[in-house]
Amino acid sequence: MDLKKLLKPRTVAIVGASEKAGFGGDTTRNYLKFSENSDRLYLVNPGRDTIFGHRAYHSLSEIESDVDLVILCTPQNTIIPLLEEAAEKNCGGAVVFASGYGEVGPEGKEQQKELVELADRLGIAIMGPNCAGFANFIDGIFAFAFLVEERDRKGNIGMISQSGQIVLGGLDSPNMGFSHIISSGNSCNVKVEDYLEFLVNDEDTKVVAAYIEGVTRPEKLVTAFQKAALKKKPVVVLKTGRSAKSQELAASHTGSLSGADKVLRAIFKRYGVIEASDLAELMSFSAAFSWLAELPKGERCVFMNVSGGEAGVMADLADEYGIELAEMGQDTKDYLQTLVPDYGSVNNPFDMTAGIGYNTPVMVNAMEAISKDSNVDAIVVAYTITPEVWDETISHMVEAVSIARGNKDLKPVFWIPFIEHTRDKESADALKASGTPLLPTGRYGCAALKKILDFSVAEFEPMKPAIPEKAHSGSYSLSEFESLNYLSEHGVPIPPQAVAATAEEAVEKAKALGYPLSVKIHSRDIQHKSDVGGVKLNIKDEAQLRETFTTIMDNCKKNAPNAKLEGVLLKPMLKAGTEMIIGVNNDKDFGPMIMVGMGGVFVELFKDVQLAPAPLTKSQADNMIKKLASYPLLNGYRGGAVCDKEALVNLLVKISEMAADGKDTVKELDINPVFVTEDGAVIADALLVVYDD
């Protein structure tokens, strides 16, 4: 659906315009106060002739010209007739504030369905229902229903939110400047994904900030994310639903079904989407990208402080957040040592002392020297900016940053305060003008810095998830033999195996496999083979094999009387190694997701697994393994084996390709364990569940 008339209308009608408090009055007041002009605005209210001194129309029909956009401030029961009336005016967009739709149960859902059907038929893109409107700061249109402080907010952040209150939070945030704000509400025929695509494509938008409760068009979402990733346009997302409670709340708030939360987060990771976990992070990450003149080329930072105590605090925080402290070259250190008093020591964090902090030109020299150092990628000045300047150090330091940033070659600079105030506007404006993000305090500031550094150095490999082409209902499990054969037929290496229906056949097949062998029951109906006495290991010769065949068959007949037994599965005993697990879970929206983790109870307890959409490139698979907290166990930890990680990576890639190809076939795959040794990575067991349609 074309969003042009909705988001960039040439003519606008506010229906239910008023002078009274409430949606109608507040929207009218806001529009008149904050929009660039009201020439092409029509106020509609059947009971008024003028509103705030402007002509009021009694109905949409009374308006002479076409109306691109209607803003409906009226109750739910008026919406359908108003849309029909608007369509007569060639309307292509409508903002619907009314609630009582998808968020309130079956009846409301029915109403929403009816609304979508009508709007689709009339070709009207609807924002909402149950939303708070939007503003387009580029074209000077302010159609938002909540009252806000009067100040200039034009900038380059495009914000979308399923909560109007959270848009208000953005508007209230002192460091945020916007291209567009959009409160999408229930997102009926225009979805969060559509707005996202709009903002990713929009040249006036440098950063996208989004509050998301759920998405419904996976294909569109990943297309938008991919476009953003290729353009290196930062997308900052706050997604609720990490807890069961917030999933429940989202359902009753905008009727969003948040789907598999972990899956969406894995999708975010694939596309370098920057995740925020509260509003302060959403705003501060976005504002930082918005202000930042250019992304750093690497992650090595030098912190500049004016206090030994604060330098110590920064050192601990940098360590905690994994921010790399640059090791400056000796030349740089020697030079800096000439700038500080004898008692000062040149370290990182660098306690500049009064020798530098109170002296603008000296600080400029210090920054330039640090910036020139090839071991440094960014500079972080850490000092509190108070709301008034009663300490001239601030002014000196801000001035120094501004002057130093005037040098085109200067590496990126960030500023982190220690105590939160609304910061002195003059200082903040100077930093903004110089392209220096003014981050929030301590922990929040370091969180933002780390996200920016990670985003800056991340290399994006376009690799779209294998989104299923249709929905599936039923499924069934394959036996281990069948599962492994399926893998093998689809390019995944497996160890030799054979099935035998009789003891004689087992002995025959064993000749090719060689002893010692593992022998397991072969049956689709038995998944927990050990539990029914269906597994014997280390079978050394023919005699033992014959005996084992009988034992296993007898055990299973007794312990699983209803299972159809097809014989036994024979495999050479594998060399044990570090045990890993690899899983595939086919998400109905985003397709097969690959999971990898170390085997055993500890890892489950510590939730140390990585998840990513299939297919994977080698470097993506490698990254997953390296991000495991238990990764050192593959790497010769405490005298253990140095495992063949490349074999594991290759195996992961093959499995991911198999899963992607099988996006409408493979429902689940559980490989547990994979033995990783010095010599390779071998699948020891597998269970595949496939769709039956």
Taking CB under 8 A as the rule, does residue 112 contact a second copy?
no
Contact region with a second copy (CB under 8 A), list: 43-51, 223-231, 242-250, 672-680: 242-250
Determine if 677 is a binding residue for a second copy (CB under 8 A): no
274 membership: H or E segment, kind and range: strand 274-276
Q: Among 62, 88, 604, 692, which residue interacts with a second copy (rule: CB under 8 A)?
A: 604
- Among 93, 437, 440, 613, the residue binding a second copy under the rule CB under 8 A is 440
Judged by beta carbon, residue 165 or residue 337, the one nearer a second copy is 165
Q: Which residues pair with 239 in a beta bridge?
A: 212
Pick from 52, 80, 100, 295 the residue near a second copy by CB under 8 A: 100
**Region of 38-46, 395-403, 414-422, 579-587 interacting with a second copy (CB under 8 A):** 414-422
Closer to a second copy by CB, 583 or 615: give it: 583
Candidates 38-46, 191-199, 240-248, 403-411: pick the segment binding a second copy (CB under 8 A): 240-248
252 touches a second copy (CB under 8 A): yes
Q: Which of 16, 133, 442, 673 binds a second copy (CB under 8 A)?
A: 442
Q: Is 308 in the site for a second copy (CB under 8 A)?
A: yes
- Please report whether residue 347 would count as binding a second copy according to CB under 8 A: yes
Considering the complex, what minimum distance in angstroms separates the CB of residue 254 from a second copy? 7
Phi-psi region of 140 (alpha: psi -120 to 50; beta: other; left: phi over 0): left
Site for a second copy in 563-592 (CB under 8 A): none
In eight-state DSSP terms, residue 532 is G
Interacting residue with a second copy among 72, 182, 238, 686 (CB under 8 A): 238
Q: Supply angle C-alpha 290, 128, 18, rounded to 5.
A: 95
Contact 440, 282 (CB under 8 A): no
Task: Answer yes or no whether residue 375 interacts with a second copy by CB under 8 A.
Answer: no
The CA-based angle 307-309-310, given to 5 degrees, is 70
List C-alpha distances in Å: 439 to 278, 296, 455, 456, 493. 15, 15, 16, 16, 50
> Is the CB of 291 or the CB of 486 nearer to a second copy?
291
Shortest distance, position 524 Cβ to a second copy, whole Å? 24
Distance CA(683)–CA(492), nearest Å, equals 10
Shortest Cβ distance from residue 470 to a second copy (Å)?
Answer: 31
Within residues 149-178, the interface with a second copy by CB under 8 A covers 149, 161-166, 168-169, 172-174
For the bound state, the minimum distance from the C-beta of residue 312 to a second copy, rounded and expressed in Å, comes to 4
Residue 335 Cα distances to 254, 267, 325, 399, 451, angstroms: 59, 47, 19, 21, 31
Distances in Å between the Cα of 73 and the Cα atoms of 13, 18, 76, 122 are: 10, 9, 9, 20
Nearest to 7 by CA among 169, 205, 149: 205
DSSP secondary structure code for residue 635 in this structure = B
Pick 535 or 568: Cβ nearer a second copy? 535
Tokens encoding 505: 């056949």
Structural tokens at position 106: 């079956």
Stretch touching a second copy by CB under 8 A, among 6-14, 589-597, 603-611, 683-691 = 603-611
Helix residue ranges per DSSP H, 407-541: 425-433, 442-457, 480-489, 503-513
- Assess 306 for contact with a second copy (CB under 8 A): yes
Q: Within 13 Å, how many C-alpha atoms sit on residue 508's CB side?
A: 7
Tell me which residues in 386-405 interact with a second copy (CB under 8 A). 386-388, 390-391
SS3 318: helix
Is residue 99 at the binding interface for a second copy, with CB under 8 A as the rule? Answer: yes
Of 88, 316, 454, 504, which lies in the binding site for a second copy, with binding defined by CB under 8 A? 316
Neighbouring C-alpha atoms within 13 Å toward the C-beta of 287: 27
Q: Which distant-in-sequence residues (6+ apart) come within 8 Å of 461 by Cβ? A: 617, 619, 620
CB under 8 A: which stretch of 100-108, 218-226, 534-542, 559-567 binds a second copy? 100-108
Nearer to a second copy, 101 or 549 (CB): 101
- Which of residues 36, 110, 219, 319 is near a second copy by CB under 8 A? 319
Binding residue for a second copy, selected from 197, 351, 373, 644, defined by CB under 8 A = 351
- Please list, residue by residue across 54-85, b when 16 or more beta carbons sit within 10 angstroms of its beta carbon and e when fewer do: eebbeebeebeeebbbbbbbbebeebeebbeb
Interface residue with a second copy, options 116, 403, 418, 566 (CB under 8 A): 418
Give Cα separations from 501 to 523, 536, 549, 552 (angstroms).
11, 16, 9, 12
Q: For residues 623 and 595, is the Cβ–Cβ distance under 8 A?
A: no
* 495 is an interface residue for a second copy by CB under 8 A: no
- Considering the rule CB under 8 A, would residue 632 count as an interface residue with a second copy? yes
Taking the C-alpha atoms of residue 207 and residue 234, their distance in angstroms, rounded to an integer, is 5
Q: How far is the CB of 437 from a second copy (least distance, A)?
A: 15
Cβ distance to a second copy smaller for residue 238 or 616: 238
531 binds a second copy (CB under 8 A): no
**500 bridge partner residues:** 568
> What is the per-residue binding string for a second copy in 181-220, x denoting contact by CB under 8 A?
------------------------------x-x-------
Residue among 68, 85, 299, 310 that touches a second copy (CB under 8 A): 310
Q: Residue 185: beta bridge partners?
A: none
Which of these segments, 39-47, 237-245, 467-475, 566-574, binds a second copy (CB under 8 A)?
237-245
603 is a contact residue toward a second copy (CB under 8 A): yes
Q: Does 514 bind a second copy (CB under 8 A)?
A: no
HSE on the CB side for 143, CA within 13 Å? 36
CB closer to a second copy, 259 vs 567:
259
Least distance from a second copy to the Cβ atom of residue 593, Å: 21
- CB nearer to a second copy: pick between 103 and 373: 103
CB neighbours of residue 37 within 10 Å? 9
Residue from 93, 155, 349, 567 that binds a second copy (CB under 8 A)?
349
Tell me whether residue 440 or residue 591 sits nearer to a second copy (CB atom).
440
b/e sequence 179-202, b meaning 16+ C-beta within 10 Å: bbbbbbbbbbbbbbbbbbbbbbeb
Task: Tell me the C-alpha distance between 300 and 317, whole Å.
Answer: 15
Give me the 264-293 binding string for a second copy, x by CB under 8 A, dash otherwise: -------------xxxxx-x----------
The CB-based long-range contact list for 246-250 (8 Å cut-off, 24+ gap) reads 250/213, 250/214
Q: How far is the CB of 447 from a second copy (least distance, A)?
A: 9
Q: Is 322 in the site for a second copy (CB under 8 A)?
A: no
Residue closer to a second copy, measured from CB, 321 or 515: 321
CB-wise, 68 or 351, nearer to a second copy? Answer: 351
Q: List the x/- string, 635-664, binding to a second copy by CB under 8 A.
A: --xx-x------------------------
Binding-site size for a second copy (CB under 8 A) equals 95
Exposed e or buried b per residue across 306-322, where buried means at least 16 C-beta atoms within 10 angstroms of its C-beta: bbeebbebbbebbeebe
Q: What length does the chain have?
A: 693
